[in-house]
A and B are shown apart, each in its own frame.
Chain A
Amino acid sequence: MPSVQDLRRDFPALHQQVNGRPLAYLDNAATTQKPRAVIDAIVRFYEQDNSNVHRGLHALSMRATQAYEGARERVARFIGAADAAEVVFTRGTTESINLVARGLGATLKPGDVILATEMEHHSNLLPWQQAARRSGAELRLVPVTGADAEGGLDAAALDALLTPAVKVFAFTHGSNTLGTVNPAAELCARARAVGAVTVLDAAQTVGHGAFDVQRLGADFTAFSGHKMCGPTGIGVLYGRRALLDRLEPDETGGGMVAQAGFTESRWKSAPERHEAGTPHVAGAIGLAAACDYLEAAGREAIAAHDAALARLAYDRLAELPGIRLLGTRGARGGLVSFAFADVHAHDVVTLADEDGIALRGGHHCNQPLMRKLGLASTTRASFYLYNTEEEVERMVASLRRVLKFFGAA
């Protein structure tokens, strides 16, 4: 990986003062900053090639189509897909999961079980609640263990829950609230053994290290561009081709139909089948540029860098009085989530912002888990390739000031 200082130069948004202090952007689990190469790719498309894709025979439309389909191939390589047709462009992880939940949900019936986990983001929980409601299937959850969820998913409970009645197992690869990274390949294999289709929420992991859908063995994988240096409004649903081609389209309209009649129509196969309407062409091109950027930076190196910062933050934060650190103690993704006994996360975030430090406080779209842990909210620091040890130290110093301000230290 190039030096962090070199990488930082690629990100225009990092070079600003916030409240008179240099910005320390530690909110990467929410969204990441964009390198110049991504911004330029989007601008170049709009300045030179902008046109609608497919069906067009003029020069710009052919260029736009080539760029859009090229982006699909780029993303397919980035995630190790066997075939670019297995990459469906969506608005993001949420749309991807809703698409697959509605499609799979239509095949379920009473007596079937949808299995998810207690550490799911609302976007990988609520669509399954809806699917269960519509189909009469039952939604069950794999519990997390430990007062601070430090035990990860309950392996014994999972054994009991993974019965042949489970038709879908949806789970997160990396928890946005806990930092816990689940053993996705193992979980997919166990689900496959009982005949369940697996849906992996990879929003927090695809851009943070090596990632290979075939090695992980998930039937469907969802992620967002903006959490991996790409633009907002673009994401991916990866699906094994045979499954994508069987999945009923969620939206119908232009571009996805093989033959339209006045009263009935036939759909195309994947990916067009699931991409009704004009797609976010510029977004896909930006996402492809992000793939290029991350690969050049070195994906293993990014993973090691993120994990080292999270480990440093975890150890330094553990020294603060009255702190609860959530998630597994050991191996974790590039984020730490914590709560103080006497100071609310929103007060923490407001005061840290005063020091130019961007954190996130709240329930992180994980309300049921927060309730289970007896927390209203946590403060979260999440790291990426451009963050530094100095920023971690600045955060810890700022938090000490916060605790002092509220008379908690």
Chain B
Amino acid sequence: MSGDLTELYQQVILDHNKRPRNRGRLPTATRVAHGDNPTCGDQCSVYVRLDGDRIAEIGFDGAGCAISQASASLMTTQVKGKTAAEVRGLYDAFHHIVTTGEAPAEISDLAAFAGVHAFPARIKCATLGWHAVLNALNGDAVPATTETRAD
């Protein structure tokens, strides 16, 4: 297994893929958003209960590759308890990590996804869950899609 591939499928990612955190529909959700990736058929629904501007509870479900599902799982652990503005900041940092491979030390948990940058076709997998949570926070009923040039 080459270095690039070991970087892509970090232990953290394999672990989240096998044992996803916060998986499942959230009955108390106040916001729901669905993300899909038309090219791959990857799907991710994110359920959020907001307490004021803060994510009190979060759940996700969906189907897709290890990168997309592990990323959504890790995302839920990172955004719980955060405000919408903080989540947007985290997403910007995450996007930087997956597109450049550079990971600032202070967000080490997300750094597991730095290897994605060597596989441009997989960046949209890694960002799927994040697009969904951002849409949920925006109160956006429109399904998130990663099929944009913004990726």
The reply to whether B5 and A362 contact each other, CB–CB distance below 8 Å, is: no
The reply to whether B40 and A354 contact each other, CB–CB distance below 8 Å, is: no
* Interface status of B66 (Cβ within 8 A of chain A): yes
The reply to whether A344 and B5 contact each other, CB–CB distance below 8 Å, is: no
**Which residues of the other chain, A, contact B122 by a CB distance below 8 angstroms?**
346, 350
**Which residues of the other chain, B, contact A377 by a CB distance below 8 angstroms?**
40-41
Number of interface residues of A (CB under 8 A): 19
**Shortest distance between the CB of B39 and any CB in chain A (Å):** 7
The reply to whether A347 and B41 contact each other, CB–CB distance below 8 Å, is: no
A339-377: which residues lie under 8 A (CB-CB) from chain B? Answer: 343-347, 350-351, 354, 362-363, 367, 370, 376-377
* Interface status of B103 (Cβ within 8 A of chain A): no
**Which residues of the other chain, B, contact A376 by a CB distance below 8 angstroms?**
41-43, 63-64
Number of interface residues of B (CB under 8 A): 22
Identify B65's interface contact among A20, A344, A370, CB under 8 A: A344
Identify A347's interface contact among B18, B43, B63, B65, CB under 8 A: B65
A350–B65 CA distance with the chains assembled, in angstroms: 10
B8-26: which residues lie under 8 A (CB-CB) from chain A? Answer: 8-9, 14, 17-18
Identify A354's interface contact among B2, B39, B43, B63, CB under 8 A: B2
Given known pairs A350-B5, A350-B119, the reply for A367 and B66 (CB within 8 Å) is: no
**Shortest distance between the CB of A326 and any CB in chain B (Å):** 15
Identify A362's interface contact among B1, B41, B43, CB under 8 A: B41
**Shortest distance between the CB of B66 and any CB in chain A (Å):** 5
**Shortest distance between the CB of A336 and any CB in chain B (Å):** 19
* Interface status of A46 (Cβ within 8 A of chain B): no
Given known pairs A362-B40, A376-B42, A376-B43, the reply for A354 and B65 (CB within 8 Å) is: no
The reply to whether A405 and B1 contact each other, CB–CB distance below 8 Å, is: yes
**Which residues of the other chain, B, contact A367 by a CB distance below 8 angstroms?**
41
**Which residues of the other chain, B, contact A405 by a CB distance below 8 angstroms?**
1, 9
| Residue in B closest to A364 when the chains form the complex, CB atoms | B41
**Which residues of the other chain, A, contact B66 by a CB distance below 8 angstroms?**
343-344, 347, 406
* Interface status of B125 (Cβ within 8 A of chain A): yes
14 further interface pairs, Cβ-Cβ under 8 Å (given A376-B41, A376-B43, A377-B41): A343-B66, A344-B63, A344-B65, A346-B42, A346-B64, A347-B65, A350-B5, A351-B5, A354-B5, A363-B41, A367-B41, A405-B1, A407-B14, A407-B18
Could you jot down 6 A-B contacts, CB within 8 Å? A20-B2, A351-B5, A354-B1, A362-B40, A367-B41, A405-B1
- A residues lining the B interface (CB < 8 Å): 19-20, 343-347, 350-351, 354, 362-363, 367, 370, 376-377, 405-407
